[in-house]
Structure 1
Amino acid sequence: MTLTFNDPSEQQRWYAVDDGVMGGQSRSQFSVVDGEGRFHGEVSLDNGGGFASVRREPHDFESTLADARGIALAVRGDGRTYQLRLKSTSLGDASAYRVKFTPATDSWETLHFSWAAFAAVRRGTLLTDAPSIKPADITQVGFLIADRTDGPFCLRVKYIESL
């Protein structure tokens, strides 16, 4: 199944979880504009901050990942490195599986990630004893930026697709 951004109501399914939860001042949001999703905002390193993220409320897309071999994204970036993050019932609430990527700035590109590309993390630290990702246990999809760089960012997403 493919998650697209043609329906403006998709924007309502996404919410920000930024470093304000720990005193930081980064801010982000997810917008649906002209058939694309946009994860955008500003990262601030002030007050020990330095990350911004958005998550999608669980809906029909996550359930289609159970039989998938991985995930593909059609994205366009701004020169910064992002993370695709997957929440799972296999990990604790503060943990997720992530894969890092730095998308092209001058054109759309499709990135393919097998489940083996994802690493379990908790607050940025790799979890070496975590179980391998089980697609049927994925409950949430999201994006995060934590590249230790102040300033604005914008990740454009045309679609997210199960492989």
Structure 2
Amino acid sequence: MFMEEMKGSVSIEKKEMIENMGVLQHGEARKEYLFNSPQALRLWHTGCDSDWGEGYSTCEFVETDRGTALFRGKISTQVVKDGRVQRAGWAAIKLEDRKSFLRKKYHSRWTSFSHLLIKCRGDGRSYKVMLYTPGAIDVTWGDSFSYPLHTHGGPYWQYEKIPFSRFFHTVAGRIQDRQYRVNCEELSSIGIALMDRIDGEFCLELDFIGVCHDRSHIEKFAYETYSLPVFSTQGF
């Protein structure tokens, strides 16, 4: 029994070591998150503007009999008349996968992969994929990297390969002037949001979320950046 456990442990550590070294085959992919059990769905939490008393949108994340999950609900852009909220109409799911003692679980093993891979079936709406990278201090808690997820609609599945080099830096959903590539060493959560300002029902079916490696993709970062002056919000 002990030898079998040791053999399995060595196999896992060998695979992790190879991935960390960047020794990956072209087209190699790994399914990181499946949605084929209630335990898998419990890692994901939902949220919308009505949960915060700032709108009337609703959403849920439910399991299907096909071993997939449905992120569905209704978007309402009606604004709460409290004199404070100016815009409404969003819904999202977010991964809450943690280690023991509620420690963050970082996706450092994704560093050697080139693309985020999502198998989904949508309704024609444009969603947003978010990679969360909050830091230790409060001013970095809203740091994330975003990229649109355009769904085709209809009955067919689509495989969305999003290069990590295409994710752009946002803070609390706002695009920043200073852009840089996402660092998977700091990536602790993933989310999918809908905020297209279109009233009505929505439905996004997810089969899995994972990563893949494409050796032909040599792009480091897709966006131009520049050095900000010393006397700026990023300087003194």
- Tell me what 1:93 maps to: 141
What is the alpha-carbon distance in structure 1 between the residues aligned to residue 60 and residue 177 of structure 2?
A: 31
Show the counterpart of 1:119. 168
Counterpart for residue 25 of structure 1: 56
Q: Structure 1: how far apart are the matches of 2:134 and 2:110? A: 14
Structure 1 residue 50 displacement after superposition: 1.1
Cα RMSD of the aligned pairs, angstroms, is 2.0
Q: CA deviation at 1:68?
A: 2.3
1:69-148 correspondence to structure 2 within 5 Å: 69-89=114-134, 92-106=140-154, 107-148=156-197
Find the aligned partners of 1:39 and 1:121 in 2 and give their Cα distance: 23
Q: Secondary structure at the match of 2:123?
A: coil
Q: What is the deviation of 1:124? A: 3.5
- SS in structure 1 at match of 2:161: strand
**CA positional deviation for 1:61:** 8.5
Matched, 1:162 2:211: yes
Bigger CA radius of gyration: 2
TM-score between both structures, scaled by the size of structure 1: 0.89
Structure (1/2) with the larger strand percentage = 1
Q: CA deviation at 1:142?
A: 0.9
Q: Deviations over 1:52-77 (max 9, x none)?
A: 11101124784542332221111111
Secondary structure of the residue aligned to 2:206 is strand
Measured after TM superposition, the shift of residue 45 of structure 1 is: 0.4
TM-fit CA distance, 1:99 = 0.9
Structure 1 gap segments, 5+ residues each: none
How many residue pairs get matched? 163
Structure of greater relative contact order (alpha carbons < 8 Å, 6+ residues apart): 1
Asked whether the 8 Å contact 1:70–1:114 carries over to 2, the reply is: yes
Q: Decide whether the 8 Å contact of 1:39 with 1:143 is kept in 2.
A: no
Determine the structure 1 residue equivalent to 2:40: 10
Identity of aligned residues (%): 21
Moved over 4 A (4+): none
Structure 2, unpaired ranges of 5+: 1-29, 80-86, 99-104, 213-236
